[in-house]
């Protein structure tokens, strides 16, 4: 319909009405402004659903009443977000101490509710009517133990709070069809066949560097392990927890008694000063199983005087008799024992003499010549503890020498000129005698506690001491001909003269 306006213009009446109506429903939600309580929000109108949002969505003059998303509310005494019992109300908000979720099976414990983590503690934390479930956070892995040997298979595992029947708490079985148990293996870094106790690994498939034997007290030293040869070197080589001088493997007891000292007139290589005679020793004596090593000398004295450079397990050399006496005094002092030598310094020169009668000193000392020879013989009467030299062998340094009376070669018991090197060698690498003493027939000559005298006779507890500058030495050295390896061999060296082929060993009166 078209109308003629006063202005003389034609007007479309329908379009005019539509535009007028539009101006009265601004949010286009189908409700005119006079009926719409918020004509700027199309979601709010008389036909809208009331929801819990703090707004009068349906324009009924109330807020959040009869909201479509209102909730039931339950008593929640422990504040864990879950209530229990009957519904205490319905609405958008609950009262204090209420929660919109129910299902709490223990409203006095906030750790118990339907969404709680399960634990292995005999409680139903998640209110499902079960406890100690496999999904418990602290459930343990259990392994199928088909052969019931206490070790399970890594291929069959279950989580549970307690061991299921036929399951073990480890996956260490080498073969779950055979009751063969795994073995504890120990890391063996030094390859000596013994590993460290504290690092044991129970396994069926150890690494190559592991061993089945434990007890190594120094896994960086292949010469240190249980049962290793103990040396007089300041180290606990056999891992028995005892110091060198407290270890019977180091200090060997030589029994008292009567023996023939010296050599018979027909002994090959004999010298005139070796007249045979009877000696009676009235006291047992401890004698070190090896000569004092460079390592032990340096530990006690703080220096290593050896002429051939560092070799910790070689005999110390380049020590005079006075140096040996000073070593014994220091060793005694360190052990809380009385010293056996009276030492004085005159004009910068140190002079030591035995300070007490033969057996009166309880400290460490050098062995007397008779003690040394009885210890070397170890109850034998042959030239060496493993036999005697055959005729013509007294000066032989090129060919190997078979000792008489057995199948032992001289180079199996003595370091002598056959070795081809004048340098002292590591101790205790050849055969010991019956008392467990090494290197008594060769490696370095050894100082004794007696001054030199050419002729000896029958005597009880012989002791030779005078203002004689020469000291008796025994044993052989790497520079010796075979004749000097014999136990009766003896010679003298000035007491103040250190040599590269001369060392000593430790003695201590036993009773």
CA atoms of 440 and 433, how far apart (whole Å): 8
CA atoms of 205 and 313, how far apart (whole Å): 37
Nearest one of 124, 117, 156 to 138, comparing CA atoms = 117
Average pLDDT of the chain to the nearest whole number = 88
- DSSP secondary structure letters along 400-411: --BPBTSS-BGG
Q: What is the pLDDT of residues 149-158, one digit of tens each?
A: 788 888 889 9
Residue 28: pLDDT above 70? yes
Token duo for residue 347: 């004009």
- Give the CA distances from residue 375 to residues 198, 427, 429, 436, in Å, rounded to whole numbers and listed in that order: 41, 17, 18, 10
Token duo for residue 239: 């891992």
Q: How far is the first Cα of the chain from the last one, in angstroms, to the nearest whole number?
A: 148
pLDDT of residue 3: 46
Residues β-bridged to residue 71: 91
Q: Residue 193: is it exposed, middle or buried by C-beta count within 10 angstroms (0-12/13-18/19+)?
A: middle
**Ranges for all domains in the chain classified under CATH 3.90.1580.10:** 244-509
Positive/negative CA dihedral, 484, 385, 418, 482: positive
Token duo for residue 192: 């000596």
CA atoms of 125 and 132, how far apart (whole Å): 9
DSSP 427: S
DSSP 401: -
pLDDT of residue 145: 86
Task: Tell me the percentage of the chain whose pLDDT exceeds 90.
Answer: 49
CA atoms of 409 and 397, how far apart (whole Å): 13
Residues β-bridged to residue 211: 186
Q: What is the pLDDT of residues 245-265, one digit of tens each?
A: 767 678 999 999 999 999 999
Q: What is the pLDDT of residues 70-109, one digit of tens each?
A: 788 888 888 888 988 777 787 888 788 888 888 888 888 8
Residues sharing a CB contact under 8 Å with residue 437, sequence separation 6 or more, in sequence order: 252, 287, 289, 290, 375, 376, 378
Residue 22: pLDDT above 60? no
Phi and psi for 24 in degrees, rounded to 5? -95, -5
Residue 183: pLDDT above 80? no
Tokens 């286009």 label which residue?
28
Three-state secondary structure readout of 439-459: CCCCCCEEEEEEECCCCCCCE
pLDDT of residue 136: 87
CATH tag for 244-509 (out of 3.90.1580.10, 3.40.47.10, 3.90.110.10, 3.40.50.300): 3.90.1580.10
- Secondary structure (3-state) at 372: helix
- In which band, very low, low, confident or very high, does the pLDDT at 170 lie, cut at 50, 70 and 90? confident
- Give the CA distances from residue 302 to residues 294, 314, 342, 377, 505, in Å, rounded to whole numbers and listed in that order: 11, 17, 21, 34, 18
Nearest one of 293, 314, 321 to 422, comparing CA atoms = 314
Nearest one of 199, 194, 146 to 168, comparing CA atoms = 146
Residue 5: pLDDT above 50? no
> Apex CA 285: angle with CA 280 and CA 286, to 5°?
155
Please, are residues 487 and 272 in contact by the beta-carbon 8 Å criterion?
A: no
Residues sharing a CB contact under 8 Å with residue 357, sequence separation 6 or more, in sequence order: none
């Amino acid at each position: 319909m078209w109308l003629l306006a006063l202005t003389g213009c034609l007007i479309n009446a329908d379009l005019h009405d539509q535009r007028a109506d539009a101006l009265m429903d601004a949010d286009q939600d189908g409700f005119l402004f006079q009926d719409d309580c918020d004509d700027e929000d199309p979601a709010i109108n008389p036909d809208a659903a009331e929801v819990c949002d703090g707004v009068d969505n349906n324009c009924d003059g109330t807020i959040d009443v009869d909201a479509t998303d209102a909730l039931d509310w339950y008593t929640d005494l422990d504040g864990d977000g879950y209530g229990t019992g009957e519904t205490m109300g319905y609405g958008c908000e609950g009262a204090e101490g209420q929660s919109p979720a129910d299902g709490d099976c223990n409203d006095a414990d906030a750790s118990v509710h339907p969404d709680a983590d399960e634990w292995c503690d005999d409680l139903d934390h998640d209110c499902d009517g079960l406890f100690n479930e496999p999904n418990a956070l602290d459930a343990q892995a259990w392994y199928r133990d088909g052969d019931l040997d206490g070790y399970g298979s890594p291929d069959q595992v279950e989580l549970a709070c307690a061991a299921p029947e036929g399951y073990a708490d480890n996956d260490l079985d080498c073969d779950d069809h055979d009751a063969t148990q795994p073995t504890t293996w120990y890391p063996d870094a030094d390859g000596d066949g013994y590993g460290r106790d504290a690092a044991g690994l129970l396994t069926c498939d150890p690494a190559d560097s592991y061993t089945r034997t434990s007890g190594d007290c120094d896994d960086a030293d292949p010469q240190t392990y249980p049962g290793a040869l103990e040396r007089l070197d300041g180290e606990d080589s056999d891992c028995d927890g005892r110091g060198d001088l407290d270890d019977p493997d180091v200090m060997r007891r030589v029994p008292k008694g009567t023996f023939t000292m010296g050599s018979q007139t027909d002994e090959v290589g004999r010298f005139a000063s070796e007249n045979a005679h009877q000696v009676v020793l009235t006291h047992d004596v401890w004698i070190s199983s090896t000569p004092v090593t460079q390592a032990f000398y340096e530990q006690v004295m703080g220096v290593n005087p050896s002429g051939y450079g560092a070799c910790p397990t070689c005999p110390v050399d380049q020590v005079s008799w006075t140096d040996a006496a000073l070593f014994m005094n220091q060793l005694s002092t360190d052990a809380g024992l009385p010293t056996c030598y009276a030492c004085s310094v005159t004009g910068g020169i140190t002079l030591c003499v035995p300070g007490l009668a033969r057996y009166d000193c309880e400290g460490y000392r050098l062995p007397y010549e008779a003690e040394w020879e009885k210890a070397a013989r170890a109850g034998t009467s042959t030239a060496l503890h493993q036999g005697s030299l055959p005729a013509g062998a007294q000066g032989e340094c090129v060919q190997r020498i078979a000792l008489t009376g057995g199948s032992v070669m001289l180079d199996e018991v003595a370091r002598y000129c056959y070795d081809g090197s004048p340098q002292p060698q590591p101790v205790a690498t050849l055969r010991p005698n019956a008392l467990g003493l090494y290197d008594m027939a060769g490696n370095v000559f050894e100082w004794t506690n007696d001054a030199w005298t050419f002729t000896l006779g029958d005597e009880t507890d012989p002791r030779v001491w005078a203002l004689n500058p020469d000291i008796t030495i025994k044993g052989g050295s790497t520079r010796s001909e075979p004749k000097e390896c014999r136990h009766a061999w003896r010679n003298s060296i000035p007491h103040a003269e250190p040599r590269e082929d001369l060392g000593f060993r430790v003695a201590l009166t036993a009773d």
